Amino acid sequence: MLQICLVGDQVLRRKAKPVKSVKKSVQTLIDEMAQAMYRESGVGLAAPQVGVSKRIVVVDVGDGLVSLVNPELVHASGSQLGMEACLSIPDVVGEVERFATIQVTGLDRSGRRIWIDAEGLLARCLQHEIDHLDGILFTDRAIRILSDEEVAERNEVVLD
């Protein structure tokens, strides 16, 4: 069972290595990452968050599991301001500006190239997870960190 690495762990600050090919071991890691994400009630998880310095992410914002190997942001436009949190930084919520609309490409769990056009929460989540692959935490991008009272008052979706 994979454990979530917490802020301070050096793997979270390293640029993750590209995956050379999607083998059974990568597919198993994707499955285990998805299990860990669901177990922790998150909507996204990057491999460095479970101690693996590889360019792999999983997300599920309510439309089913999306897994990407070697994801790349290829187009972005607009901006959106929203609240984010992270499984690796418990009990911290911040306001982060992200692109509103993005296109991401990468490999699916079978090794086929796919493209995802995303907006709203899916766009925010994909950007958050791809940042993890580059050693960037949401707190690095946060305009401000919210107090517990502000989080309770706003009652908005928080990205884990």
Domain with residue 16: its CATH number is: 3.90.45.10
Active site residue 153: no
Within-domain flag for 101: yes
Within-domain flag for 4: no
Over the range 120-138, which residues count as b (16 or more CB within 10 Å of their CB) and which as e?
ebbbbbbbbbbbbbebbbb
What pairs with residue 98 in β-bridges?
A: 80
Mean pLDDT within 124-140: 98
Within-domain flag for 159: no
Query: What share of the chain has pLDDT > 90, as a percent?
Result: 91
pLDDT of amino acid 29: 98
Catalytic residue among 32, 84, 129, 156: 129
Q: Is the pLDDT of residue 112 over 70?
A: yes
Within-domain flag for 26: yes
